[in-house]
Amino acid sequence: MNTAPGTSTAMANRLAELLADQATAPLTPTELSELDTLLHMHPQLQDSSGRPIDAESIAALTGSLIAGWSSAKTAAMPGDVRARLLNRGLDVARENAREASRHRTISISQPPPTANQVSDRVVRTGGSRPFSWPLLLTAAAACAALCTSVFMLVSSQRSQAEAVMARQQLETQQQESTDRLAAADGRISTFSATLEAQRQDANARLALAAEQFAALDQSNTELSAILQGERSTAAKAVAQATADLASADSEIESLQTRLAVSERKLTAAEDRISLLQQNPDNVQIAWTATDIPEAKGVTGDVVWNARLQQGYLRFKGLSANDPGKEQYQAWIFDEGRDPKFPVDAGVFDITLASKDEATGDLIIPIDPKLLIKNPAAFAVTLETPGGVVVTDKKRVVVLAPVAPPTR
């Protein structure tokens, strides 16, 4: 460092030291006052190359060192180097803190020093501090550069070895991957061939199934046509059989009706004879024909048993009626009832009447709807189909009055 004429080395070192302190950390009020006095007392300081030494140049140097250290971090710093640097930094920080505390105490109790007091302090302390900050920063920068160079060299060699090892591992992995891919390609080719063979076999089976299905469909069509024809023939046969069965049923019903009529006819005639033979208390009255055309030539009688409430009508010469237009209806006039309302004794047709085979007479059973206590007369009229409840007596065919009993 170069100093101007008349400037002591101790004062120049003290000025450089304060400038370096100002570039790295804030100064105390006492140090700021001392720095201001020294700057007014002495001309500009210069280094060996003639460059000015001030707060800006020292700050630029410090920034360059910090930037160099920052850009040199290409790899992790070894642990022992980092520990030594941190311990040294902590020692420097504690020393600065104690010095700043001491200066703050002095600055509070004393006024700012004058130029003579600063000169006397510099001469008396022999340079204030045992080391000059500019020299310390230069040495630290050299050490940092050396450590950084050594560390970068070692890191570079280690990185190269790691890169070679990583490349070898990558090549090994690539070869293994290539082998696995080749094996997978072989398995895929085998599987593809097997799959293609299976596909062709499935297609052949599908074609055969399609042919069989077409043949089966043709057979089904033919069978359907045959079945339709058989069904039509069977339907016609069933219809004919149904018609024949209906005709047979009708004929059977007719025969059964005829048989029932014949049996009924025979039974009614026999029952009348039995009633006459076994019951002496019967009443038997001959018919009296009226003057209407239907009564012409009609003869016969009535047999009635009051105790049994049973009796029969016998006719000879009674003409046949048309059941769809009119029917014969028998009546009983009871002495205990109003003559206007005779008791209905049944509706009958000549075609269904029982016939006595021996005489040819028609026998009709009497069917009274009420209890007959003492009959006064019997009558037969022509009425509408189904008969009536009360006769108007306009078409009386025959009449049989009962004679009063003798005393």
Q: Where are the domains of the chain?
A: 9-130, 280-401
Tokens encoding 295: 């009564």
pLDDT confidence of residue 188? 93
Which whole-number Å values give the CA distances from 310 to 134, 239, 364, 368, in the listed order? 168, 50, 12, 9
Query: What's the CA gap between 251 and 245, in Å, rounded?
Result: 10
Query: What's the CA gap between 298 and 381, in Å, rounded?
Result: 13
Tens of pLDDT along the chain (407 residues) come to: 555 555 567 777 787 788 777 766 678 889 888 888 888 876 666 666 667 766 676 666 656 655 655 555 455 556 775 676 667 666 756 766 676 567 555 555 555 556 566 555 544 544 444 445 555 555 555 555 555 555 666 667 788 888 999 999 999 999 999 999 999 999 999 989 999 999 999 999 999 999 998 998 898 889 889 988 999 898 999 999 899 889 888 888 877 766 655 555 558 999 999 999 999 999 999 999 999 999 999 999 999 999 999 999 999 999 999 999 999 999 999 998 999 999 999 999 999 999 988 889 999 999 999 999 999 999 999 999 999 999 999 999 999 999 876 65
**Amino acid at position 3, single letter:** T
**Amino acid at position 290, single letter:** T
Tokens encoding 322: 């048309």
Q: At what angle do helices 115-125 and 29-41 cross, to 10 degrees?
A: 100
Question: 280-401 is classed in which CATH architecture?
Answer: Sandwich (2.60)
**Amino acid at position 107, single letter:** S
Contact 327, 321 (CB under 8 A): yes
The full 3-state SS of 250-271, as one line of letters, equals HHHHHHHHHHHHHHHHHHHHHH
pTM (global) more than 0.85: no
Q: Which of 33, 46, 53 is nearest to 5 (CA)?
A: 46
For 299, the 3-state DSSP assignment is: strand
Phi, psi of 5 (to 5 degrees): -60, 140
Query: What's the CA gap between 376 and 402, in Å, rounded?
Result: 5
List, edge to edge, every strand of the sheet that includes 343-348: 288-289, 396-401, 375-383, 327-334, 343-348
pLDDT confidence of residue 130? 45
Radius of gyration, alpha carbons of the chain:
78
Contact 304, 364 (CB under 8 A): no
pLDDT confidence of residue 128? 43
pLDDT confidence of residue 126? 47
